[in-house]
Amino acid sequence: MSEDEFKAAMARLTAGVVLVTAFDPDEGPHGEDVGMTATAFMSVSLEPPMVLVSVRDGSRMDELLERQPLWAAAVLAGDQRQTAGRFAMKGRLSDRLLFQEVPHSRGPVSGAPLVDDALAVVECRTERRVPAGDHTLVIARVLSSALPHTADGGPLTYYQGRYRGLD
């Protein structure tokens, strides 16, 4: 099987879209917020509450989560395509500039940015990192959760290489 065949097969799988965020206290004089769009995110356990996210080896988020265990994930709403796209771009502007345009608050548990209009947000602490090919599976305990989105509407999904609402 070729890489292209595998990518085409996986493009047929619809995935939810989350914005993974963390605060890097070691970046700059006052620290810096870091964000990454992810579609490989899932609930792992109810007792205790745990989630899993897959991050690319060597990415900024991978490096940060290796040394800083607290982070958050926001389940994006269908009208948040622009946010997902901005944090998925390769060679993008600094995350500091991207967060200036995304309404958010600071997570009281993780210190990570929490997107204001997300369908749900969870604050997490990494419990285990598992190497998996060119990615690392980050398994974390959920320390808090909230449902900040007040408008009607569904989640943002990713299917066949495009962001889509669930309409």
User: pLDDT by residue (tens digit) across 104-148?
Assistant: 999 999 999 999 989 999 999 999 999 999 999 999 999 999 998
Average pLDDT over residues 20-31: 89
Q: Looking at residue 93, what is its pLDDT? A: 62
CATH architecture of the domain covering 17-157:
Roll (2.30)
Q: CA–CA separation, 18 vs 30, rounded Å?
A: 26
Report the Cα–Cα distance between both ends of the chain, in Å, rounded. 34
Average pLDDT over residues 92-103: 81
Give me the residue spans of the domains in the chain: 17-157
**pLDDT over threshold 80, residue 153:** no
pLDDT bracket for residue 94 (50, 70, 90):
confident
Kindly report the pTM of this predicted structure: 0.92
- Average pLDDT value for the chain: 91
54-63: list long-range contacts, CB under 8 Å, 24+ apart: 54/132, 54/135, 54/136, 54/137, 54/138, 55/20, 55/135, 55/136, 55/138, 56/134, 56/135, 57/131, 57/134, 57/135, 57/136, 60/34, 60/36, 61/20, 61/22, 61/34, 61/36, 62/136
Share of residues in the chain with pLDDT > 70 (%): 95
Q: CA–CA separation, 136 vs 148, rounded Å?
A: 29
